[in-house]
Amino acid sequence: MKALDAGANLISKVFPFHLSCDSNCTIVSFGQGVKAMRPSIASGTGFFEHFTISRPQYTSSGYQCLLDLQDRVCWLSINQHEGTPHLRGQWVQTRPGEITFLGWPFITSAEELVSLTLDSSYFPCHHPLGDMLSMLETAKLSAREAESYALELREQKTNLERANFLLNLRYQLAHLLSTGDGGDEAGALHLLCRELNTTLAALLLVDETQSGLALVGLALHPDCAEAGDPADWVSFVTAFVKASSMQVGGQTGRLHVDRIPGGIFPSPPGRVDRDPAPFVISVPVSETGGRFLGWLLLVGDDPQCLEASTLDFLKCEGIALAEHRGKRFALQTEALQRVRMDAILDSSLDAIVTMASDGRIAGWNGSAERTFGYLKEEAVGRTVEEILVPASQRSAHRRGMTRYRECGEGPMIGSLVETTALRKDGSTIPVEMAIIPFRINHEEYFTATLRDLTDRRLVQERIEVLARFPEDDPSPVLRIRGDGALLYANPAARVWGSLIPPGDGGQVDPVWAEKVRGALASGKPLTEEWHVGGHYYLVRIIPVSQDYVNLYATCIEDLKNRESQINALNQELEQRVEERTAAQQETIRELESFTYSVSHDLRAPLRAVNGFSQFLLEDYGDVLPEGARELIADIKSNAAKMGRLIADLLELSRLGQTAIQRVEVDPNALVEQVLGAQRVDLSIRNAVIEVHKMPPFEADPRLMLQVYENLIGNALKYARPDEPPKVEIGALAVAGGNLYYVRDQGIGFDMRFHDKIFDVFHRLHTNDAIEGTGVGLAIVRRILEKHQGAIWAISSPEAGATFYFHLGALDPALTGTCP
Instruction: Provide the minimum distance between the beta carbon of 616 and another protein in the complex, in angstroms, as a whole number.
Output: 11
Nearer to another protein, 190 or 636 (CB): 636
Phi and psi at residue 304, to the nearest 5°: -70, -10
Q: Does 795 bind another protein (CB under 8 A)?
A: no
Q: Does 599 bind another protein (CB under 8 A)?
A: yes
| Cα–Cα dist 273/278, whole Å | 10
Q: Does 705 bind another protein (CB under 8 A)?
A: no
Nearer to another protein, 475 or 595 (CB): 595
Instruction: Provide the minimum distance between the beta carbon of 568 and another protein in the complex, in angstroms, as a whole number.
Output: 40
Instruction: Provide the minimum distance between the beta carbon of 615 and another protein in the complex, in angstroms, as a whole number.
Output: 7
Q: Does 485 bind another protein (CB under 8 A)?
A: no
Residues 6+ apart with CB under 8 A from 549: 479, 480, 482, 516, 519, 520, 541, 542, 543
Asked if 499 and 489 count as a contact pair (C-beta separation under 8 A), the reply is no
Nearer to another protein, 562 or 644 (CB): 644
Residue of 189, 271, 262, 196 whose CA lies nearest to 229: 271
Residues 143-162 that bind another protein (CB under 8 A): none
Q: Does 614 bind another protein (CB under 8 A)?
A: yes
Among 650, 660, 732, 751, binds another protein (CB under 8 A): 650
Nearer to another protein, 119 or 709 (CB): 709
Nearer to another protein, 310 or 610 (CB): 610
DSSP for 32-91, please give it: HHHHHH-TT--TTSBHHHH-EEPPPEEETTEEEEEEEETTEEEEEEEEEETTEEEEEEEE
The amino acid at residue 428 is: T
Q: For another protein, which stretch binds (CB under 8 A), given 39-47, 346-354, 641-649, 712-720?
A: 641-649
Nearer to another protein, 639 or 807 (CB): 639
Among 208, 406, 601, 664, binds another protein (CB under 8 A): 601
Query: 97: helix, coil or strand?
Result: coil
Among 46, 96, 408, 611, binds another protein (CB under 8 A): 611
| C-alpha pair distances (Å), 198 with each of 1, 298, 299 | 13, 7, 6
Residue of 704, 692, 700, 688 whose CA lies nearest to 668: 692
Among 53, 485, 499, 647, binds another protein (CB under 8 A): 647
Instruction: Provide the minimum distance between the beta carbon of 791 and another protein in the complex, in angstroms, as a whole number.
Output: 25
| Cα–Cα dist 46/363, whole Å | 33
Element (H, E) at 460: helix 454-468
Instruction: Provide the minimum distance between the beta carbon of 677 and another protein in the complex, in angstroms, as a whole number.
Output: 18
Q: Does 135 bind another protein (CB under 8 A)?
A: no
Q: For another protein, which stretch binds (CB under 8 A), given 88-96, 443-451, 550-558, 602-610?
A: 602-610
Among 325, 517, 603, 762, binds another protein (CB under 8 A): 603
32 CA to centre of own chain: 39
161 CA to centre of own chain: 41
| C-alpha pair distances (Å), 740 with each of 668, 704, 706, 819 | 11, 12, 15, 11
Asked if 713 and 779 count as a contact pair (C-beta separation under 8 A), the reply is no
Instruction: Provide the minimum distance between the beta carbon of 539 and another protein in the complex, in angstroms, as a whole number.
Output: 60
* Start-to-end CA span in the chain (Å): 103
560 CA to centre of own chain: 38
Q: For another protein, which stretch binds (CB under 8 A), given 32-40, 290-298, 599-607, 728-736?
A: 599-607
Q: Does 656 bind another protein (CB under 8 A)?
A: no
Asked if 793 and 754 count as a contact pair (C-beta separation under 8 A), the reply is yes
Among 348, 613, 710, 745, binds another protein (CB under 8 A): 613
Residue of 143, 425, 421, 167 whose CA lies nearest to 317: 167
Instruction: Provide the minimum distance between the beta carbon of 605 and another protein in the complex, in angstroms, as a whole number.
Output: 7
Pairing mode, strands 443-452 and 351-356 = antiparallel
Among 595, 653, 738, 802, binds another protein (CB under 8 A): 595
Query: 816: helix, coil or strand?
Result: coil
Q: Does 612 bind another protein (CB under 8 A)?
A: yes
Residues 617-636 that bind another protein (CB under 8 A): 636
Q: Does 659 bind another protein (CB under 8 A)?
A: no
Among 186, 224, 322, 640, binds another protein (CB under 8 A): 640
Instruction: Provide the minimum distance between the beta carbon of 647 and another protein in the complex, in angstroms, as a whole number.
Output: 6
- E strand residue ranges, 687-725: 688-691, 697-699
Q: Does 770 bind another protein (CB under 8 A)?
A: no
Long-range contacts of range 508-512, CB-CB < 8 Å, 24 or more positions apart?
508/478, 508/480, 508/484, 510/484, 512/480, 512/484, 512/551
The amino acid at residue 277 is: A
Asked if 807 and 698 count as a contact pair (C-beta separation under 8 A), the reply is yes
Q: Does 606 bind another protein (CB under 8 A)?
A: yes
| Cα–Cα dist 706/731, whole Å | 18
Q: Does 96 bind another protein (CB under 8 A)?
A: no
Q: Does 653 bind another protein (CB under 8 A)?
A: no
Q: For another protein, which stretch binds (CB under 8 A), given 137-145, 150-158, 612-620, 710-718?
A: 612-620
Q: Does 608 bind another protein (CB under 8 A)?
A: yes
| Cα–Cα dist 490/108, whole Å | 48
Question: By CB under 8 A, how many residues form the interface with another protein?
Answer: 27
Q: Does 615 bind another protein (CB under 8 A)?
A: yes
Torsion angle of alpha carbons 412, 414, 416, 419, nearest 10°? 20
Among 55, 327, 531, 600, binds another protein (CB under 8 A): 600
Pairing mode, strands 726-734 and 688-691 = parallel
The amino acid at residue 302 is: D
Please name the residue ranges forming H helices in 525-625.
557-620
Q: Does 722 bind another protein (CB under 8 A)?
A: no
Nearer to another protein, 540 or 786 (CB): 786
Instruction: Provide the minimum distance between the beta carbon of 639 and another protein in the complex, in angstroms, as a whole number.
Output: 6
The amino acid at residue 69 is: L
| Cα–Cα dist 426/420, whole Å | 12
Q: Does 639 bind another protein (CB under 8 A)?
A: yes
Q: Does 605 bind another protein (CB under 8 A)?
A: yes
Instruction: Provide the minimum distance between the beta carbon of 610 and another protein in the complex, in angstroms, as a whole number.
Output: 5
Q: Does 596 bind another protein (CB under 8 A)?
A: yes
Nearer to another protein, 481 or 636 (CB): 636
Nearer to another protein, 600 or 693 (CB): 600
Q: For another protein, which stretch binds (CB under 8 A), given 361-369, 400-408, 513-521, 603-611?
A: 603-611
420 CA to centre of own chain: 29
Nearer to another protein, 601 or 622 (CB): 601
Q: For another protein, which stretch binds (CB under 8 A), given 35-43, 156-164, 563-571, 609-617?
A: 609-617
| Cα–Cα dist 27/21, whole Å | 4
- E strand residue ranges, 482-547: 486-489, 526-532, 535-543
Q: Does 607 bind another protein (CB under 8 A)?
A: yes
Residue of 445, 504, 458, 514 whose CA lies nearest to 483: 514
Residues 29-68 that bind another protein (CB under 8 A): none
Instruction: Provide the minimum distance between the beta carbon of 604 and another protein in the complex, in angstroms, as a whole number.
Output: 6
Write the binding mask 555 to 594 for another protein: x where contact by CB under 8 A, - elsewhere.
Answer: -------------------------------------x--
Q: For another protein, which stretch binds (CB under 8 A), given 58-66, 90-98, 234-242, 597-605?
A: 597-605
The amino acid at residue 814 is: L
- E strand residue ranges, 302-427: 319-320, 351-356, 361-364, 416-422
The binding site for another protein (CB under 8 A) comprises: 592, 595-596, 599-601, 603-608, 610-615, 636, 639-640, 642-644, 647, 650, 654
